[in-house]
Amino acid sequence: MMRPGRKNATRGFIVPIGGAENRVQNPVILRRFVKVCGGARAHIAVIPTASSLDDIGDRYESVFSGLGAGRITILPFKSRADCESPKYLEVLDRVDGVFMTGGDQVRLAEMLIDTSAAQRLCGRNMHGMHIAGTSAGASAMSSAMIASGTSGATPRAGMVDLAMGLGLVSRFVIDQHFSQRDRLGRLLTAVASIPFGAGIGLDEDTAAFIGPDDTLEVVGSGSVTIIDGSNLRNSPADLTRHGEPVGLTGVRLHILTEGNLYNLGNHTLLHSGLAAKSHGTVGSNAAALT
Q: CA 70, CA 47: separation in Å to the nearest integer?
A: 17
DSSP classification of residue 11 = P
Confidence at 272, pLDDT banded by 50, 70, 90: confident
Examine the residue annotation and report whether 204 is marked as an active-site residue of this protein.
yes
pLDDT tens digits, one per residue of 137-151: 999 999 999 999 999
pLDDT tens digits, one per residue of 87-132: 999 999 999 999 999 999 999 999 999 999 999 999 999 999 999 9
In angstroms, the Cα distances linking 23 to 7, 29, 31 are: 29, 9, 9
What does the mean pLDDT of the chain come to?
Answer: 90
Q: Map out the domains of the chain with their CATH numbers.
A: 14-282 (3.40.50.880)
Annotated active-site residue in 51, 61, 130, 135: 135
Annotated active-site residue in 21, 177, 254, 258: 177
288 has a pLDDT exceeding 70 = no
pLDDT tens digits, one per residue of 211-233: 999 999 999 999 999 999 988 87
pTM of the model: 0.91
Contacts of 117 (CB under 8 A, 6+ apart): 75, 77, 82, 83, 84, 88, 89, 92
Q: Kindly state the average pLDDT of the residues 238-253.
A: 85
Question: Which residues does residue 271 pair with via DSSP β-bridges, in sequence order?
Answer: 261
Examine the residue annotation and report whether 135 is marked as an active-site residue of this protein.
yes
Examine the residue annotation and report whether 21 is marked as an active-site residue of this protein.
no
Check residue 232 and give its pLDDT. 86
Q: CA 270, CA 260: separation in Å to the nearest integer?
A: 8
Annotated active-site residue in 61, 204, 217, 258: 204
Q: CA 80, CA 49: separation in Å to the nearest integer?
A: 11
Check residue 241 and give its pLDDT. 84
Q: CA 165, CA 187: separation in Å to the nearest integer?
A: 15
